[in-house]
Amino acid sequence: MSRFSVAKERVLDDLEGIVEQLLRASRKHHRRSLWNVCNPYRPKSKPEQMCVWLQGARRGAWKDFVSGDQGDAIDLVAYALTGAVTADTRMTALEWIEDRFGLKNMSPARRETIAKEATARRAAAEAKETARRTASRERARKFFYSCQPIEGSLAEVYLRSRNIDLAGVPKLGRALRFHPACEYWMIEERPRMPAMIAAMVGQDGKIGACHYTFLAPDGSGKADVPKAKLMFPETSGLVIRLTDGPSGLPAERAAEASALGLVGLVEGVEDGLSVAVAEPDLRMWSAGSLPGFGTVPDHGCVSSWLVFKDNDWGKRQAQQQFSRAVARLKGFGKPVEVISMPADWGKDVNDALRSGWK
């Protein structure tokens, strides 16, 4: 086992401590799967601009979303120590790690022991993460089916406030439900409030997560909380299938029947429902978030994609993220068209349609 391999394993073992020490990271930005940190070499850096992954095969990997700098655990130490990743700074990182963990005079036998222990730890961690992910998805599935039908609920009142009448949505799917007292977990008090719940499914149509829109008590708008829209658990590779298109068939049955068609892709639930009313010939899916566009799965029911771009993605990072997502969709080998509305029409499709655009 090489010096770099041994050093990397020790960094992964003590990753949280090293991140806290070298990057002065705040525990309030620590999540189960990643840790958002400030870049110490960029003035006024914000935590959401850089992260270190803490779980699974990506543990120890990091990325600065502003500069694009990224790397593995050794690179993380090199960057934290010097602000750059080069052959020389990687050697600096290696020396720092060896000094921290007393690795400089290690015998070949000890290196082999460390390698075996690291392999065993990695396998155990991966098994634990797989079990956690499976349990979280099952929890999301059970929660969704415990919710009430959306018809006649406060969620319908909310949608009407956004000029969406569910009765007028053609071929509405079964992705939306309502919960009258959903726990809001983003603040310490964990209050309960009404919420519109959307099922997020994978390529196989199975529920993997839920999308929550927390509502005001009277349904007149979103709840007055720091972030009214949340998702749980991980949502990579998942979408919200809002409508079933002209055929009226769910995606899997449509593929079996060769009832292929154009699929419209939006970020938000309200956007997707608004488009569905205006363009009934579209099967509408929601990615749930801008990052979600980058993991949308292909499907046999899709003949081509129509992607709606919001107007509040003005930052360079958001523009690049959207461009990468579109390039990935084109990689499926199907036609892709992007619709970008003028900024004065509103920030998204729902705004545009509410303002009278057709």
Give the model's pLDDT for residue 358: 43
Higher-scoring residue by pLDDT: 129, 153: 153
Residue linked to tokens 């319908």? 156
- The predicted-structure confidence for 246-265, as pLDDT tens digits, reads as follows 999 999 999 999 999 999 99
Burial class (CB in 10 A: 0-12, 13-18, 19+), 100: middle
Question: Is 60 a residue whose pLDDT tops 90?
Answer: yes
Question: Is 56 a residue whose pLDDT tops 70?
Answer: yes
* Whole-angstrom distance, CA of residue 201 vs CA of residue 252: 12
Cα–Cα distances (Å) from 122 to 118, 127, 128, in that order, read 6, 9, 10
| Residue closest to 195 by CA, chosen among 162, 147, 238 | 147
pTM, two decimal places: 0.72
Q: So where are the chain's domains?
A: 3-120, 147-354
Contact 331, 290 (CB under 8 A): no
Question: Is 169 a residue whose pLDDT tops 80?
Answer: yes
3-state secondary structure the chain: CCHHHHHHHHHHHCHHHHHHHHCCCCHHHECCCEEECCCCCCCCCCHHHEEEECCHHHCCCEEECCCCCEECHHHHHHHHHHCCCCHHHHHHHHHHHHHHHCCCCCCHHHHHHHHHHHHHHHHHHHHHHHHHHHHHHHHHHHHHHHCEECCCCHHHHHHHHCCCCHHHCCCECCCEEEEEEEECCCCCCCCEEEEEEEEEECCCCCEEEEEEEEECCCCCCECCCCCCEEEECCCCCCEEECECCCCCCCHHHHHHCCCCEEEEEECCHHHHHHHHHHCCCCEEEECCCHHHHCCCCCCCCEEEEEEEECCCCCCHHHHHHHHHHHHHHHCCCCCEEEEECCHHHCCCHHHHHHCCCC
- The predicted-structure confidence for 90-133, as pLDDT tens digits, reads as follows 999 999 999 888 887 767 787 677 667 767 766 776 787 788 88
* Whole-angstrom distance, CA of residue 293 vs CA of residue 325: 6
Q: What is the mean pLDDT of the chain?
A: 88
Query: What are the backbone dihedrals phi and psi of residue 47, each rounded to the nearest 5 degrees, phi first?
Result: -60, -35
- The predicted-structure confidence for 297-328, as pLDDT tens digits, reads as follows 999 999 999 999 877 555 677 788 888 999 99
